Amino acid sequence: MSAAADVAARATAGFRQRYGGEPAGRWAAPGRVNLIGEHTDYNDGFVLPFALPLRTVVAAAVADDGRWSVWSELDDEPVEFGPAEADEPGRVDGWAAYVAGVVWALRAAGHTVPGARLAIASDVPVGSGLSSSAAIEAAVLAALVELGGLDLPADRWPRLAQRAENDYVGAPTGIMDQSAVIRGRPGHALFLDCRTEAVEQIPFDLGAAGLAVLVIDSRAPHRHADGEYAARRKSCERAAKALGVAALRDVATGDLEAALARLDDTETRRRVRHVVTEDQRVLDTVELLRAGRIRDIGPLLTASHASMRDDFEITVPEIDTAVEAALAAGAYGARMTGGGFGGCVLALVDADAADAVAAAVAAAYADRGFTAPGTRTVLPAGGTTRLD
């Protein structure tokens, strides 16, 4: 059985076992990885994520009592809640908050959400930066929209799922994750302008080019990631203010040196330089991909990593080791992806060299005494869909 069929079968089996009977349908949403554009989202800039062939599947059916019951294979017991709990952010906590948050966001937008029984299985690793959170939100959203026959076109789903995560769960994320997992398309990356929320599908057909992306889970222990993230955001906001722009996205690449000269501390200058050059690297990557020059984006990926390491200062030894080892083993480019201080590295490789690059990274890790990394080879996959 393929991995995709397996996770769907687990969702169905979970449904039968918990609730009895058959689900009315199954809905799937993928994880995502950001190809390039890090810490640009809250600076009104550009990102370029793509959906992964790893999915969260929800098997679901309407419940006539108007309440919600949700089971995940990550937990033993189902969680139950009704409209009163759904209408008050915080009342449902833990993992089920991601589900209650979707119900809340739909109801807050004026929709009549049917009660439902939901069973969830997933291949998206939880908490490693591949956006299992957006995957569960999107799969649940798709299920509830269809079970209720709600009039909600898919281009409005990302905003709604983001509200669930921001306002019900209480996690301050941008709109990238939800956009990527909802709108992803096989063989494409999603170019997203975080200011206008305009999206464009950019050809990124790795398979046809004999290429693949190796995703390396650094397994690095999270080190103060939340506080450091908040500090970076604050530093960017302060810099934008000092420069008299709405956001760092408004500093043109050609004006960067002049802008830096107007800032008085070297740390802030480095932060600004990362954001402005990273936006430009996203635009340059998009241009190369439009021209079908996938291999040529390698140096941009690697430059993005150097900028995160030296200017934004958000990498850790495990991450830098993985990038260096992947490059030494022949990757066209490699970079940390995600907010930093742990999470994943991605490397652009020839498909038939992926195993050798993965082995080289594992060997470098062993040399340094780090916990062994997780590695998987991926191609850009499709977004949120109904399975059957």
Give catalytic status of residue 177 as yes or no.
yes
What is the closest distance, in whole angstroms, from the C-beta atom of residue 131 to ligand ADP in the complex? 4
Owner of token pair 């069973």: 119
Phi, psi of 81 (to 5 degrees): -155, 160
Which stretch, 130-138, 151-159, 236-244, 275-283, contacts ligand ADP (CB under 6 A)? Answer: 130-138
Which stretch, 34-42, 129-137, 221-229, 377-385, contacts ligand ADP (CB under 6 A)? Answer: 129-137
Token reading at 214: 């190796």
Residue type, 255: D
Beta strand 385-386 pairing with 374-378: unpaired
**Residue list, annotated binding site for Mg(2+):** 133, 165
Name which of residues 172 to 211 contact ligand ADP (CB under 6 A). Answer: none
Which residues here bind Mg ion, judged by CB under 5 A? 131, 133
Residue type, 291: A
* Binding flag, residue 230, ligand ADP (CB under 6 A): no
Start-to-end Cα distance in the chain: 17
Q: Which of 46, 95, 168, 191 binds ligand ADP (CB under 6 A)?
A: 95
* Binding flag, residue 72, ligand ADP (CB under 6 A): yes
Q: Which of 12, 34, 56, 307 binds ligand ADP (CB under 6 A)?
A: 56
Token reading at 357: 């690059």
| Partners of 62 in the β-ladder | 116
What is the distance between the alpha carbons of residues 188 and 114, in angstroms, rounded to a whole number?
34
**Cβ atoms of 152 and 161 closer than 8 Å:** no
What is the distance between the alpha carbons of residues 103 and 115, in angstroms, rounded to a whole number?
9
* Binding flag, residue 98, ligand ADP (CB under 6 A): yes
Q: Which is nearer to ligand ADP, 132 or 280 (CB)?
A: 132
Phi, psi of 70 (to 5 degrees): -135, 130
Binding site partner of 127, from ligand ADP, Mg ion, none, Cβ cut-off 5-8 A by kind = ligand ADP
Burial of 286 (0-12, 13-18, 19+ CB in 10 A): buried
* Binding flag, residue 81, ligand ADP (CB under 6 A): no
What is the distance between the alpha carbons of residues 273 and 51, in angstroms, rounded to a whole number?
28
Binding site partner of 321, from ligand ADP, Mg ion, none, Cβ cut-off 5-8 A by kind = none
Of 44, 123, 177, 217, catalytic: 177
* Binding flag, residue 12, ligand ADP (CB under 6 A): no
Owner of token pair 């990124």: 204
Binding site partner of 63, from Mg ion, ligand ADP, none, Cβ cut-off 5-8 A by kind = none
Binding site partner of 235, from ligand ADP, Mg ion, none, Cβ cut-off 5-8 A by kind = none
Owner of token pair 């890090």: 38
Name which of residues 101 to 120 contact ligand ADP (CB under 6 A). Answer: 120
- Return the active site residues: 177
The residues binding ligand ADP (CB under 6 A) are: 56, 72, 74, 95, 98, 120, 122, 126-127, 129-133, 136
